[in-house]
Amino acid sequence: MGRLIKAWTPEGNLAEKNTYGVNGEILRKNSHESSVSFSYDFGGRQREAVTKGGSDQKFYYMVMTEMEIGRLRKP
């Protein structure tokens, strides 16, 4: 699928390692300095990102009706 799994420094050290889910979504991104885990909802949208230190960022999505979408398209 063309996804980056591992990246190495010119010296031959592992710089980054990524783990992907069955649908191709990134689940974990590790480097020598940090680590981030990602979670997704049933629609495949990113729901949360959590660092190795415990900091997190949550993502929320708004559901729109067809009428609201139509209003956005009008000039």
Q: Which two tokens stand for residue 49?
A: 């990102």
Rounded Cα distance between 50 and 3, Å, is 21
- The string of pLDDT tens digits covering residues 55-67 is 999 998 887 777 7
Q: Report pLDDT digits (tens) over 4-39.
A: 999 999 999 999 999 999 989 999 999 888 999 999
Predicted TM-score (pTM) of the model is 0.71
Structure tokens belonging to residue 3: 């996804």
